[in-house]
Amino acid sequence: MSEEMMVLMLQLGFILIATKFIGYVFAKYLKQPKVLGELVAGMIIGPYLLGGLALGSFGPLFPLPLNSTVPVSPALYGISTLGSIFLLFDSGLETDLPTFIKFSGKATVIGLSGVIVSFFLGAGITVLLRPEVSSLMDPSALFLGTVCTATSIGITARILGENKKIATPEGVTIMAAAVLDDVISIVLLSVVVGISSVQLEGGAIDWGMIGNVAFKAIAFWAICMVLGIILAPHFTKNMKRLGQLPLITEVAFGIALVLAGLSEMAGLAMIIGAYITGLSLSQTDVAHALSARIESVSEFFVPVFFAVMGMMVNFSALKSVLGFALIFAVIAFIGKLVGCGLPALFVGFNARGAFRIGSGMLPRGEVTLIVAGIGLASGAINHELFGVAVMTMLVASVAAPPMLVAAFKAPGSGYKKKLNLKQNENQVTIELDFPSLRTAQFICDSVMDGFVQEGFFVSTLDTSKVASYHIRKEDVIIQLDILREEEDQAKVKFFCNEEDESFVRLMMLDSVADFQEFAETISSMKDSEMMSSQLLINMFSIK
């Protein structure tokens, strides 16, 4: 076991170095999403390229395991799965729940349409171009059709998160439809397995068993969504009494892991349970603080997930079916672009929004490999057709991220109607000018300490401003921005609801009074101490 752990540590070290470096190159110089660089890094150092080369007596760094459809060790695959859970839990935290619920009906129409169109296009092109496949009910056609239906919510979530688009109408619609796609794909997989096993082994189709599996999966997903949304505020309210944010974060992520495991038991993908947990907590006052703490850890695990996804690509297995694989990948693209983009036009989105949604539904990933792996293990598809599924994942993983980023770069909303955001109708802005940036930061730190003492949760926002903070306690939401002005002056802005304005001003006055008392104390110090005090006064530009 110690030798296996040694190999695992070496593998993780090389994965982190390769993904961070290549991801930086893709983002900095190629202007592409980091996730694309992480996928490419996995392809390069994986077992089918450099990772499969023997390093003297040590052997390959990424040896191919025996009797497994996954080309990495169970330990490494487990860590990559943990990375996907981190990613989807954080994506759920960043999703705006009211918008998610508002667009869930539209997402259902889009998701169902995408599954239906993709399935029949994938199965149909298999029958048309593969002479050994005679009908749509052939196991190979059924499995490849199912391969087309799944969307990689992990890749989509990473791109939307990097571009701060998860909370947009298109973003929440993509996430909701992608979750629904994965649920339907897993249910469809159970149906296909049942039909294929009968055709391969003989006997009658047990529709009762298939229906039972499908019902349990859908019921588990729906019940967890409803219970999570109802119970999350009570959970955070009771946990806050302990006064330990790290403890709340750890327990919340523990719940995400438990729900991920239960999702797998119910026949769904584990990432769905993780996303439901994050989504349930997204409207609580600890959501931003939880997300900030989760992100600091997930930066080490999420790249492992995408690198392992890249390692799945077996280039040599694609040689004999390269032509069909490329055609199939294009058909899979068309299935999602048309199947999801076209109905989006009829549920309130304009052409810009429809293209964004279609692009967001293009990536393939973990569920695609689950479907293909089960098909290979059952004998329904051979290694060549398994390579077709991997090729589809590869093409989608490489082409979809830049397309999705470009779709969101186009200015303007993708939704036809102007959203009525009632929570912002009575928002007020409080502006204060300071003689220096250091003075502003010093006083704002004192203000935030005061908010924390009052039971608020403060988290840093990732913006282009000098500093931006999200301050929240239950339904009271405040944003604090510190901006650099000319000649090193600074402006402080508070954004809050009108009913909270007096409270915010009082907190600011208390901090300014404390700062004035601090300055007066320094000014009254003895002559022997005046030199150091004068330095402090100059530092804060007190006049």
Count of alpha carbons within 13 angstroms of residue 438, beta-carbon side: 7
Is-contact 62 328, C-beta < 8 A?
no
The pLDDT value given to residue 103: 86
Q: How far apart are CA 530 and CA 21, in angstroms?
A: 50
Total tally of structural domains belonging to the chain: 2
Q: How far apart are CA 407 and CA 400, in angstroms?
A: 10
Residue 192: closest CA among 168, 210, 180: 210
The pLDDT value given to residue 499: 87
Same domain, 464 and 499: yes
Same domain, 95 and 225: yes
**Alpha-carbon torsion (11, 13, 15, 17), positive or negative:** negative
The pLDDT value given to residue 353: 92
Same domain, 456 and 363: no
Q: Would residue 133 count as lying in a domain?
A: yes
Q: Would residue 242 count as lying in a domain?
A: yes
The pLDDT value given to residue 136: 85
Same domain, 335 and 463: no
- pLDDT tens per residue across span 473-497: 877 888 888 888 776 788 888 988 8
Same domain, 376 and 438: no
Residue 184 carries which side chain, given as an amino acid letter?
I
Sequence-distant (≥ 6) Cβ neighbours of residue 373 within 8 angstroms: 69, 70, 386
Q: From 409, 440, 474, give the residue that closes a domain.
A: 409
The pLDDT value given to residue 542: 45
Take residue 350 and report the two structure tokens written for it. Answer: 């304009």
- Per-residue pLDDT of the chain in tens (543 residues, 90 and over written 9): 788 899 999 999 999 999 999 999 988 888 777 888 888 899 899 998 999 999 888 889 999 888 776 788 999 989 998 998 998 898 888 887 887 888 889 999 999 999 999 999 999 999 999 888 888 888 888 888 988 887 877 778 878 887 778 878 888 899 888 888 877 877 787 777 777 777 766 666 667 776 777 787 788 888 998 999 899 988 888 888 887 888 999 999 999 999 999 988 887 778 888 989 998 998 888 888 898 889 889 999 999 988 988 887 777 777 777 888 889 989 998 999 999 999 999 988 999 999 999 999 988 766 676 677 667 666 777 777 877 887 887 788 778 888 888 888 888 888 887 655 444 557 788 888 888 888 888 888 888 888 888 888 888 775 555 678 888 887 788 888 888 877 678 888 898 888 888 998 888 888 888 777 777 776 666 554 555 555 555 555 544
Q: Give the position of tokens 């009906």.
A: 105
Q: From 375, 409, 443, give the residue that closes a domain.
A: 409
The pLDDT value given to residue 463: 54
Take residue 195 and report the two structure tokens written for it. Answer: 């039909």
Q: From 379, 409, 439, give the residue that closes a domain.
A: 409
Same domain, 386 and 473: no
* 288 conformational bin, left if phi > 0, alpha if psi -120 to 50, beta if neither: alpha
Same domain, 333 and 368: yes
Is-contact 391 183, C-beta < 8 A?
no
Q: 478 phi and psi, to 5 degrees?
A: -130, 140
Helical packing angle, 169-201 and 366-378, nearest 10°? 0
Q: Would residue 490 count as lying in a domain?
A: yes
Q: Would residue 176 count as lying in a domain?
A: yes
* Residue 494 burial class via C-beta count within 10 angstroms: exposed 0-12, middle 13-18, buried 19 and up: buried
Q: Would residue 456 count as lying in a domain?
A: yes
Instruction: Say which CATH number the domain at 532 has.
Output: 3.30.310
- CA end-to-end span of the chain, whole Å? 67
Same domain, 361 and 264: yes
Instruction: Name the 3-class secondary structure at 137.
Output: coil
Q: Would residue 13 count as lying in a domain?
A: no
Same domain, 288 and 152: yes
Q: How far apart are CA 401 and CA 394, in angstroms?
A: 12
Same domain, 389 and 437: no
Residue 362: closest CA among 217, 166, 162, 151: 151
The pLDDT value given to residue 10: 95
Q: How far apart are CA 429 and CA 436, in angstroms?
A: 21
DSSP string, 52-112: GSB-GGG-BSSPPPTT-SSSS-HHHHHHHHHHHHHHHHHHHHHS-HHHHHHTHHHHHHHHH
Take residue 528 and report the two structure tokens written for it. Answer: 């022997």
Q: Would residue 183 count as lying in a domain?
A: yes
> What is the layout of strands, in order, in the sheet containing 467-473?
427-434, 490-497, 476-484, 467-473, 457-460
Same domain, 96 and 175: yes
Is-contact 270 264, C-beta < 8 A?
yes
Q: Would residue 453 count as lying in a domain?
A: yes
Same domain, 398 and 434: no
DSSP string, 266-319: TTS-HHHHHHHHHHHHTTSTTHHHHHHHHHHHHHHHHHHHHHHHHHT--TGGGG
* 498 conformational bin, left if phi > 0, alpha if psi -120 to 50, beta if neither: alpha
Number of residues assigned to the chain: 543
Q: Are strands 427-434 and 467-473 parallel, antiparallel or unpaired?
A: unpaired
Instruction: Say which CATH number the domain at 228 has.
Output: 1.20.1530.20
Q: How far apart are CA 82 and CA 305, in angstroms?
A: 8
Is-contact 118 335, C-beta < 8 A?
yes
The residue range of the domain holding 517 is: 430-540
CB environment 51-87: b (16+ within 10 A), e (fewer): bbeeeeeeeebbebeeeebbbbbeebbebbbbbbbbb
